[in-house]
Every structure is written in C-alpha cells, then in structure tokens.
Chains A and B, each alone.
Chain A
Amino acid sequence: MSKISSAFENGTAFIGFLTAGDPTIDKTVEYILAMEEVGCDLVEIGIPFSDPMAEGVVIQDANVRALKHNTTTDDVFDIVARVREKTDIPLVFLTYINPVFFYGYERFFKRCAELGIDGIISPDLPYEEKGEIKDIALSNGVDVISLIAPTSKQRIQKIASDATGFIYVVSSLGVTGMRSEIKTDLNAILSDIREVTDLPLAVGFGINTPEQATEIGKIADGVIVGSAIVKIIEQYGEDAAEPLKEYVSSMKKASNE
C-alpha cells in the first residue's frame, strides 16, 4: 500500500490539481508547496499533453501554456524531485497514457519509484486497458487510481474490487470544468461502491465553490478540485501563491464543515 491512505487521515481530504509547467516549472514547485502548507492533503500533478481529450477549456489552456515553453516529462520529474526535497505529501500524476507509453513503462515507473510518486490517474485507461501498466506500476509502489463515472453502473463491481489507493468518482457527465450545479445522485453511486470496497472515495469534476465542497465533504472521503485551481493560476500567473493558499484553505475548511 502506498502513502495515499495518509491523505485521508485528516478529515475529508482536499485534493488539488495543477498542470506541471503552468506557468513555469519553478512556479509549479512553489504552488504545490503553497497548497500543501495550507492543508492540501494530496496533489495531482498533470503531465501536459497536446490533446487532453477529457479536459474542458480551462485545463486545455493550461496544457497549451505548459507546452508553449516545452515542458517535458523529464521536467515534470524534476518538479517532483524538487518538491520531494521539502515534503512527503502524497503525489499522483494525472496523465494521458501516450506520454507514459512513449517514455517507456519500465523507465517511467522506475523514475516514479525513485522520486516517491504514489499513484497515477490516466483518463484514457479504463478497466479493460489497465493491464497496460497495472503490474509494472504496482511493483514500483505506484497505485493505478480507478475512475468510476455516473454511467459506470454494473461496472462498479469489477472496477472497485480491482482498485488500489483511492477511487476517483467522477461527479457528472462531460469533461473537466467548473459547474454551478451537480445533478448526479452521488449518494447512490458512493454507496454502491462502498458495498464493494473500503478504499477512500474522492469526488471530482465540476467542484469549485465552498458550498459544493461542504456538500460533497459530507458524503465522500475526499474532494478533488482542478479547474478552479488552474483558473487562479491562469488569472494570477507568477503571483498565484497567495490567492491559491487562500482558496485551498477555504476549500479544505469547507470540505470538513
């Protein structure tokens, strides 16, 4: 078992996402540490990709910004190395599978093990294709985080029973992005999953306000926020540390109200 479970030991976990290299490599290191300082329990680091198919415009734009100055997979590993000098907060990669495939699964996960990456979330690797990386990731101590969507239905059983780390529950249909309202019956999905597994369940996609965090925090073990954080980085560029801290601390607090 990886360090991931420790993220769920301080009440409802707050999980923050940002795209590596947006706006710069140095700033990504700074922003991860800033979020941790104010109570972020786990950070998802997005490896930039040319074609982030599951992403809404906010995160698409972050990928464009990161790739404009050529942020590479090796740069992302450098970011992790620098973060690891300061903290052992659980870290997971959010990455499309092609950059990992291209880097070479062996080489990629060996690097993850060396640097203390705890998990990987790949939006284009459903249960049927998990075999691509499952064994090699686990043997390097990296959990392959499973996603469960509102459309998963009868698939929940096999996905959840094979999951490790935590389960990423997708709150709604569609791509990532901030939503004013989440209509899915999350309670029903969460209880279906809990019948299969004791793993922590974190809900993401669309969450951006403290009210939503409070609501999700009551029923889930973790609240995942991506687009709203990336939006702050988009807005404040190199000066986003303070606004990020303010936002993350308010969201961590709201998640536990």
Chain B
Amino acid sequence: MSRGRYGEYGGQYISETLMNELLYLEEQYNHYMNDPDFVEELNTLLKEYAGRPSLLYYAKRMTEDLGGAKIYLKREDLNHTGAHKINNVLGQVLLAKKMGKTRVIAETGAGQHGVATATAAALLDMECEVFMGEVDTKRQALNVYRMELLGAKVHSVKSGTQTLKDAVNDAFRDWIARVHDTNYVIGSTMGPHPFPMIVRDFQAVISAEAKEQFLEKEGKLPDAVIACVGGGSNAMGAFYNFIEDEDVKLIGCEAGGKGIDTPYNAAALTNGKIGIFHGMKSIFNQGDYGQIAPVYSVSAGLDYPGVGPEHAYLRDTGRAEYVPITDEEAVVAFEYLSKMEGIIPAIESAHAVAHAMKIAPEMDKDETIMICLSGRGDKDVRSIAEYRGVDLNE
C-alpha cells in the first residue's frame, strides 16, 4: 500500500506523470520542515505578515444569551486576507519558491484560497494562476477582481458543474502539463499524498495556538472544538493538536444545504460513500455507478462532493463527529453572530457557529466550546442579502 494513509483512506491515486513530482514534493517538504531557517522564515511571515497568533476571543454576549457553555472564537477571520487559508498558502508558496519553482496554481471555491494564493504569490514574486468554476466566479465576482488586482490570472472553469470540484480537475490538468516550473498549491486537506499532510501541518498552527491560549485563559482545554468542513483544512487545523486529548470533543459541520434528504447538499460524511477521486480514497457524494454527484451549498467554500481522508478516518474511529447544518441554520447563525458580537462570519464558518448555538445551551456553564471562525463574512454579504430576498441594487 502507498504512503499517506489514514486507515484505509488517503493514498496517491494520480497520473503517473505526476508521481515523481509528488515524491519530490514530499522529500522537499520533509527537508525544509527540518531546516530551522525555513521554519523561522515561515514563522516570521505568519507573525509579521498574516498577523498570527490569531486571537482567542471570549464571546460573552453569545455565551450569556445561549445560557450554557462558555463560547470562544478562534479568530482566523482576522488573518490577512480574512481566512485561515493564508496559513497553508504561505507555507506552500514559500516551499515552492525554495524548490525553485517560478509559478503556482490553485483552485478556489469561494475565492478565499485563490485570494490567499494570489497574495502570497505577489509577496514572494511568483507567477500565479487560479482555477475557479464559472458558477463561483459569478457568486464571488468581487474575489475574482481581487485576485486580478493581486496580479493573478483567473481561469473560469466551464466543465462539469462549474464549481470547486471542476476547478480542482482543471488545476490538476494544468499541473500535469507544467510540472517542471509549477507547484499546485492545493487549498484543503485533500488530493493525493503528501497534500493532505502538508495542508494539515500548515493549518495545525490553529490548534497549537488555541491549546496554549485555552490553558492561559481557562486553565484547561476546551470541552468541544467545532469547525466547518469543506475539504477539511480549517477543521483539521483546529482539531489536530487536540486529537491526543481524548476529553476534547471534535465536531465537524458539513454543508447540509437544503436538507440531507434532498439532493441539494454537500454533506459527504453524512450522505457519501467510500470512493477514489481527486487522488485520494475517501468519502464522496456519488451516484449509482460511482459518478461524482453534483452538490450544493449556499456556501461556495463548502460546496465540494468529498472530504479530506483524515476526516474520514477520524469519523470511522469515532474520534470526531460530523453533523450537517442546513443553509437556513447557517444563515441564521451568520445574522446572529453579526448582531450579537459585531462579528460578521464567513458563511462557511457560520455552519460551525450554528452548531454551537444548538449544543451550548445543553452544556454546563463551566464547560467551554471553541468555534473555529475560519473566515470573515464580507464576501458573503451580497449572497446573504439575496438569500433573504433583499435587492441591493434598488
């Protein structure tokens, strides 16, 4: 069996043309992560450029309103570019640069990962091209222009469902033609090994910081950590350093869309089956003959028909629990956090907020919850207005 396994999940199901490049990437990754200069350079970028450590904020009004567990927000929304994506991207683009590459490519759904990659590419003087489904370029037009401002070229992907999975397909298609000068900066804990490991390691800074911050503020670890799950990178980052602490409940929130008993959702761990796609064995939403299913979510960032392999493993072993959150619940949470704390969350992150709203009231007052607030919601204001039937152009 190949490397990069999480139980039966993971692996390297990819074209032979890319295999040597993946092996090289893994070797270079291991080399640089053991190089104190590289680690120092990356940590400096995270601190001076991205604004880490991110705050662990006690949401007092929300806690009092819900009347149960104390709620803390891990404020990834305060990072430069407004989401957790920058943690991973700074690591991967810096690595690409050290590897002698001159060009990076990325897929993007909501546009957050594309913006983060374009940002890091500008900073580190690399050529950057981003693949984005045509449907998503319309949902997130502002982010398209943002990427262009940052000097990136955005390809509107017209194949398939014209969303995130198709953007991933086209990014791989581009990479296979240009392995010599290009690194694929993948946006989540997915794809063939070593990507799920690399992205998880770069995102693990979230839980590394949170653990210290909790000990400092509460003198103990949180009772539950809640994060939204698209491909699974912010969740993996928020979970990773708590996996060994078995009393900390880990809860991932998937896109329940219009309901898990309708075809309009993206809840792979709830509705999907085991399969092999995008380089990995994992859980995917798929039809009768193993055709990858079209999925749906109000949130472009969660609109992916699968999940990273380590999450599939954490589910099977019972270490983490995964729940679907509907569009409506997420939108209510989006509005709730805005009014209650003056923080507009990304609609993706609002899925995690929604679950905290469900479980906090049932928990004791001396218990604590950490919500990974993976991003800020400015990008979503227009689509939430639309969802609520408000015409902003009137």
Determine whether B176 belongs to the interface, using a CB cutoff of 8 Å to chain A: yes
Determine whether B159 belongs to the interface, using a CB cutoff of 8 Å to chain A: yes
B side interface size, CB within 8 A: 39
Interface string of A49-91 (1 = CB under 8 A from B): 1110110110010001001000011100000000000000000
A150 touches which of B1, B17, B277 (Cβ 8 Å): B17
- Across-interface contacts of B2 in A (CB, < 8 A): 128-129
- Across-interface contacts of A98 in B (CB, < 8 A): 275-277, 284, 286, 290, 292
Determine whether A174 belongs to the interface, using a CB cutoff of 8 Å to chain B: yes
CA distance A99 to B291 in the complex (A): 7
Does B276 contact A50, Cβ atoms closer than 8 Å? no
Q: A98-B275, A173-B177 are in contact. Are A50 and B15 (CB under 8 A)?
A: no
Does B276 contact A124, Cβ atoms closer than 8 Å? yes
- Across-interface contacts of A99 in B (CB, < 8 A): 289-291
Does B286 contact A173, Cβ atoms closer than 8 Å? no
CA distance A124 to B20 in the complex (A): 14
- Across-interface contacts of B277 in A (CB, < 8 A): 51, 98
Does A97 contact B276, Cβ atoms closer than 8 Å? yes
Give min CB distance, A152 to chain B, whole Å: 6
Does B16 contact A147, Cβ atoms closer than 8 Å? yes
Determine whether A103 belongs to the interface, using a CB cutoff of 8 Å to chain B: yes
CA distance A66 to B290 in the complex (A): 15
CA distance A174 to B173 in the complex (A): 7
CA distance A53 to B275 in the complex (A): 15
Does B165 contact A51, Cβ atoms closer than 8 Å? yes
Interface residues of A in 150-167 (CB under 8 A from B): 150-155, 159
Give min CB distance, A26 to chain B, whole Å: 20
Does B19 contact A128, Cβ atoms closer than 8 Å? yes
Determine whether B178 belongs to the interface, using a CB cutoff of 8 Å to chain A: yes
Interface string of A88-122 (1 = CB under 8 A from B): 00000000011111110000000000000000000
- Across-interface contacts of A155 in B (CB, < 8 A): 16, 19-20
- Across-interface contacts of B275 in A (CB, < 8 A): 98, 101-102
Residue of B13, B289, B291 with most chain A CB atoms under a 10 A cut-off: B289
A50 touches which of B13, B21, B160 (Cβ 8 Å): B160
- Across-interface contacts of B13 in A (CB, < 8 A): 97, 124-126, 129
Does A124 contact B19, Cβ atoms closer than 8 Å? no
Does B19 contact A126, Cβ atoms closer than 8 Å? yes
Interface residues of A in 25-58 (CB under 8 A from B): 49-51, 53-54, 56-57
- Across-interface contacts of A152 in B (CB, < 8 A): 16-17, 19-20
A124 touches which of B279, B286, B290 (Cβ 8 Å): B279
Determine whether B301 belongs to the interface, using a CB cutoff of 8 Å to chain A: no
List 16 A-B residue pairs with CB atoms under 8 Å apart, sorted by A's residue number: A53-B173, A98-B276, A101-B275, A101-B276, A102-B273, A102-B289, A103-B290, A124-B14, A126-B13, A128-B12, A129-B13, A159-B16, A170-B16, A170-B17, A174-B176, A175-B177
Binding site for B on A (CB under 8 A): 49-51, 53-54, 56-57, 60, 64, 67, 72-74, 97-103, 123-129, 131-132, 147-155, 159, 170, 173-175
Binding site for A on B (CB under 8 A): 1-3, 11-21, 159-160, 165-166, 169, 172-173, 176-179, 273-279, 284, 286, 288-292
